[in-house]
A and B are shown apart, each in its own frame.
Chain A
Amino acid sequence: MGFALTLVGFQKLIEPYQNFLYAVQSYELFGPSLEQVIARVMPWCEVFLGVFLVLGLWLNWILRAYVVLFATFVIVVSQAMLRGLPIENCGCFGESLSFSLPTMLIADCLLLVVAVILLYRIHQTRVYSLDKYFLEK
């Protein structure tokens, strides 16, 4: 999950941000200024969340943020589907991979469930984490 999120964010960051801005705009949910902020900030959030998740650093907080992020994705994608917006590519993976909204909704729901389970079993999640290393130090 961490690697995937890191790669997704990295992919968006090395491309011109306008490509992701277009994806954000297609959801027709935010004002122009907020769309700009989301297009610039979201990829950084994805990278940091992903890297911290891989390393197991601040896991408790990172997993909470992860749950919030994916719950937001589920809401955003669901409303786009309900409104019948003509979105062919969800924009979630930059421009490299293209998924339809229903596919992405299922993936987001699954990842959300996994994140909730990891959070619920935080002691087991921490087994190979930097958090554990710092706790034992």
Chain B
Amino acid sequence: MPKISKKFATLLVIVICVFVIGGVKLFFQVFRLGPDDTIAARAKGNPEGAIRITEYVDFQCRNCARGARYLSRFMNDHPDQVYLELKFFSTSGRHSLLSARFAECAARQGKFWPFHDLLVQRQHRWKQFSDAHPAFEQMAKDVDLDLSRLEKCLEDKSIAKLILKEKTDAKSLGIKRTPTYFVNGKMVVGLKSLKQELQQYFGGSDH
């Protein structure tokens, strides 16, 4: 074994660690480009606005509801400058997939955002239920969804497939938890980071 000094061995270990981790990170980053396609029915705001936000949510997650309320106020204050699109990242919460299916079916009737707002507003209630289906149906009635079309849509297996595909795509972007946002392509996780990121565009006002 060639004689090497302890300091040289230390340096060697550090360099190897940096190269291995850097290499693996680079390898994964090649495949993480950012959100691609936009689903128009789940988008709102000005497409030409200065800020484009893609939001990955699970409707059952409390912080997602807080984030949604914050974004709603933020968009009201900056109506022409923000474009928001929403994507599903349903976790293992008992109502996560069902709430996303209802929301997607509402989107197919052009009423995604009113339904979304009710989901967020009443989250603290429906997330307690063992069966949230009646609560979602009530919300569907409240936003005047066509209930027969809704029933057919809920039975459509392609809806669940689409929701799971969005989650798979999100995972390939490095998303592991909700809420995660992409603000003009930059990933931010959680409401605190979102506020900090948006403050960079519009100064210190905290909504």
Contact = CB atoms under 8 A, between A and B. Distances in A.
Contacts of A25: 190, 192-193
B21 A57 contact: no
Size category of the binding interface on chain A: 20 to 34
A57 B16 CA distance: 15
Given A21-B189, A25-B190, A137-B3, A14 B25 contact: yes
A52 interface: yes
Contact of A15 (B3, B14, B176, B193): B176
Given A21-B193, A95-B176, A14 B10 contact: no
Size category of the binding interface on chain B: 20 to 34
B9 A134 contact: yes
A134 B5 CA distance: 8
A60 to B, nearest CB: 12
From DSSP, what is the main secondary structure of chain A's interface residues? helix
Contacts of B13: 51-52, 55, 57
A21 B21 CA distance: 19
B50 interface: no
Nearest to B32: A16
A120 interface: no
Contacts of A58: 10
B196 A32 contact: yes
B15 to A, nearest CB: 12
A23 B62 CA distance: 16
Nearest to B14: A48
A25 B187 CA distance: 15
Interface in A63-110: 86, 89, 94-95
B197 to A, nearest CB: 10
Contact of A13 (B6, B21, B192, B196): B21
Nearest to B181: A18
Nearest to B21: A13
Contacts of B21: 10, 13-14, 47
B16 to A, nearest CB: 9
Contact of A22 (B9, B14, B62, B193): B193
B108 interface: no
Nearest to B27: A14
Given A19-B189, A58-B10, 15 more contacts: A14-B25, A22-B189, A22-B190, A25-B190, A25-B192, A25-B193, A26-B190, A48-B14, A48-B17, A51-B17, A55-B13, A57-B9, A130-B6, A134-B5, A134-B6
